[in-house]
Structure 1
Amino acid sequence: MKKTGNWIKILVFLPALLFVMLIGWIGISEWKETKAEPSLAYETDNPSGEESQVETETEVLTVKQSEDETETKVPDKEPENPVVHLVFAGDILLSNYVTSAYDNAKGINGVLDTGFRTEISQSDIFMANQEFPFSDRGTAAPDKQFTFRLPPSRVSMMNEIGVDIVTIANNHTLDYGTDALLDTCTALDEAGIRYVGAGPNMERAKQLQTMAVKGKTIGFLAASRVYPDPGWVAGSQKPGMVSGYDPTILLEEIKKARPLCDYLVVYVHWGVERDEKPQQYQRALGKQIIDAGADAVIGSHPHVLQGFEYYKDKPICYSLGNYIFGSSIPKTALLRLDVDFNGGSTTLSLVPGTSKSGYTRTLTGEGEKQSFYQYIQGISFGVTVDEQGVLHHNN
């Protein structure tokens, strides 16, 4: 019985002994593994260790990548200038006086002085009335005192002047017939100059022309209320222009153009030659054009300057007179129209000048400039002109 008890004791304690031995063996194995492969904490705390250097280089690389990402990040787009600078002139005729002045000077500096050339170059868009066709074809219109025409090769002069867009709705566009008008359209297209108011058919003649400037869409339309023959009006398949005598088509096109433009300009050929005051119909039609949706109305044809008027806070310029013409021009000007889309305002100002023998120059003397501004104020309607040539609406 005593021996049996001893065996029982051995059987009871043997599993416990084996368990203790197993735990000890596992502990020794883990200690050996720890000695053979240092922990990350040990590696990081050991600046002289090889693997510690690798870890440091990895950290540096991560920082470098972060810096590179900062350096190559595309910067936010600069806010666009909200002010669009539009410049307008009256009649341009490249007469013999003008072409001779150009040829003698071997360039446009014989036609325009530095002041006007600089003003035009600083504009976003420069528009004028082209008072002639570019063509070598056609026959002069009968019973017409003055008929004008220039060879298409002279279109480069318009580029040198800096013209971006012209109205060709006037009483000289068809001086040499429809072939000459078609040649004019081709010459302007090839020169990259936009045109409005006339074309190969009514669809093109009435077509809105738009130009994108600083994220804004500027639109242009034109018509003429001066021409010698009803046959000068465009038809569905006939070259010609948009009529201002019956403004129905013009007003419809303005209404259609309104939602397509941020700013809409309508250029009209109207009035009586040499008359410094607009006709009553000009004032009525100008208001109709604005009521239809135009933001500004620019006029030409009288060959002299006429005054300005505001209607519903929108400007009407009745005539900018002759700008480059050849004959003596005692008073001329460029009209600056600065549209501030952020501020929601439009500022008009004048750059006065004069012209003789085909050469148009700015007025430089303070006295002559102030006299010019007072003159414009005197022929305008509810408008004052300050010493800088800025027009103000007297509400």
Structure 2
Amino acid sequence: MLVLPLLGACTSHPESQPKPDPLPLPTSPPPWVTETLPAEPTTRPLVFAVNARRPPMSMPKPVAEWLQQGIVDNWDQLGQPSAPLRTTDRTDRLDHLPMDTVAIVAADAVGPAVRVIEVDGVDPLRDPDDYPVQVAGPPHAPVTTMTVVGDVMLGRQVTGHAALGPMSARLASADITVGNLESTLSDDGSPRQDPVGDSFHADPGVRAGLRGAGFDALSLANNHTGDYGDRALVQTVDLLRTAGLPTFGAGRDLAAAREPVVVSRHGVRFGFLGFNAIGETPEAAPGQPGALSVSMPPRTGPLDRAELDRVLSDVRRLARVADVVTVLPHWGTQYTNRPDPIQAVVSRALVKAGADLVVGGHPHWVQGAEQVGDALVVNSLGNFVFDMDTPETNEGLVLEATFWGDRLMAADFVPYRIGLDFAPRVVSRADAAGTFERFWEFSDLAATR
């Protein structure tokens, strides 16, 4: 009987109490919700890397799993000649990986001194998202492919031939394609070479073939850009640029010749410079058309340190605005696979100044490659299109480079042979055995210790 009065004493009329302010609506999830949300998992390829001097390989995923489990112990299980096979997960030996070893490592550990094995036909560096063997780790940076070819001469006997046609689709498939154009597009002047037949002039109509092959930039820093004098040189630059083919390494004056080309892909900026060390084309100067030049052996005297310092200054300046710097020097001795010692001196200076990739031209034969720090130096890729008639001048290599962000991850050398129509065509590794033998003989890249 006392409960009701007690309840009555403890209860007041609702209208006698002030109403509380309404609670504010939350503008973000409570801290305890945010903290317990799992992070989105990310993965990266687990790659199977071999020495870069080995041929391309592919294997099905079950074989990749057997490699991980240590079941594979002979190269014949990977379709190669029989020999004992070892595996390692060490990343500190990849620059000089033994020929008998497969390194099983996360993709971001590799570089141009190794070749990665495709799994189920997928290249883990070019197509990392589709690659079937993944491990936990940070996501990869944007992938950019770059193709670099050797000397392209579209005049003389090449005139009238669609020499770029057979490889146009392959070149155009790269995100960036670059080469050295070793012929003018104007003959508005007297030929300067001796003999006169060594003055190279191509019809302006070749621009369609260059565009069709996907060229994004062309170096004019060579000894034939000046074959028909100053006026023809300037006209050649203008004709190419008005056709959407940016040029570098030569121009109407020194400032123009020093101006780089910068190409952006996937948010990464790729910068290009070139210089001529062979002479014949006039040296660009204030008010003087010509090529950006560096005097050096074997053709233009002792190394001119002031001219080299000027190029190194250009490399440093470009490295401040570009993520990747590529330099195309025209240098060296013709008709030999052996680089001149001075090329190593100059290439190391270029790398120290900020070059990530150095690809030379002029020797007309392939010359070796080396890795300098994280940079790659290729002394010569050989002729790409030319009308010469010896076996060595009719063979060469296309450099197909893969970048993740600003880092060079892979460098594949694709062999070809120039036919009777002056057009290069890809050949098998077996057919190119001699080319690779000469290339690797003078290469420090991937050399075993």
Return the TM-score normalized by structure 1.
0.70
For residue 235 of structure 1, the aligned residue among 285, 306, 311 is: 285
Q: Residue 300 of structure 1: SS of its match in structure 2?
A: coil
Unaligned runs of 5+ in 1: 1-77, 103-109, 385-393
Aligned pairs for 1:1-395 (under 5 A) are 82-102=142-162, 111-113=164-166, 116-141=167-192, 143-144=194-195, 146-228=198-280, 232-245=282-295, 246-328=307-389, 329-341=393-405, 344-357=407-420, 358-364=422-428, 366-370=429-433, 372-384=435-447
Q: Residue 288 of structure 2: SS of its match in structure 1?
A: coil
- Contact 1:258/1:264 (8 A) holds in 2: yes
Which residue in the other structure is 1:387 paired with? none
Q: 1:141 to 1:370 in 2, by over 3 A?
A: closer
Greater share of helix:
1
Q: How far apart, CA to CA, are the structure 1 residues paired with 2:170 and 2:194?
A: 39
- Contact 1:197/1:241 (8 A) holds in 2: yes
In the TM superposition, what is the alpha-carbon distance from 1:154 to its structure 2 partner? 3.0
Deviation per CA, 1:5-50: give whole Å up to 9, x if none.
Answer: xxxxxxxxxxxxxxxxxxxxxxxxxxxxxxxxxxxxxxxxxxxxxx
Q: How far apart, CA to CA, are the structure 1 residues paired with 2:438 and 2:287?
A: 46
Q: How far apart, CA to CA, are the structure 2 residues paired with 1:335 and 1:85?
A: 10
Deviation per CA, 1:101-127: give whole Å up to 9, x if none.
Answer: 32xxxxxxx6442xx333212101111
- Contact 2:366/2:438 (8 A) holds in 1: no
Q: How far apart, CA to CA, are the structure 2 residues paired with 1:376 and 1:93?
A: 22
Q: Residue 336 of structure 2: SS of its match in structure 1?
A: coil
Unaligned runs of 5+ in 2: 1-128, 130-138, 296-306
Q: Residue 349 of structure 1: SS of its match in structure 2?
A: strand
Q: How far apart, CA to CA, are the structure 1 residues paired with 2:382 and 2:144?
A: 24
1:255 partner letter: R
Q: How far apart, CA to CA, are the structure 2 residues paired with 1:126 and 1:142?
A: 29
In the TM superposition, what is the alpha-carbon distance from 1:136 to its structure 2 partner? 3.5
The total of aligned residue pairs comes to: 296
Alignment RMSD (CA, Å): 2.2
In the TM superposition, what is the alpha-carbon distance from 1:339 to its structure 2 partner? 1.0
Which residue in the other structure is 1:27 paired with? none
Q: How far apart, CA to CA, are the structure 1 residues paired with 2:316 and 2:145?
A: 24
Q: 1:293 to 1:143 in 2, by over 3 A?
A: same
1:135 partner letter: S
Q: Percent identity?
A: 26
Which residue in the other structure is 1:56 paired with? none
- Contact 2:224/2:280 (8 A) holds in 1: no
Return the TM-score normalized by structure 2.
0.62
Q: 1:150 to 1:372 in 2, by over 3 A?
A: closer
Q: 1:250 to 1:144 in 2, by over 3 A?
A: farther
In the TM superposition, what is the alpha-carbon distance from 1:141 to its structure 2 partner? 1.1
Q: How far apart, CA to CA, are the structure 2 residues paired with 1:250 and 1:236?
A: 16
Q: How far apart, CA to CA, are the structure 1 residues paired with 2:145 and 2:164?
A: 23
2:368 partner letter: G
Deviation per CA, 1:251-275: give whole Å up to 9, x if none.
Answer: 1111111111110000000001102
In the TM superposition, what is the alpha-carbon distance from 1:354 to its structure 2 partner? 0.3
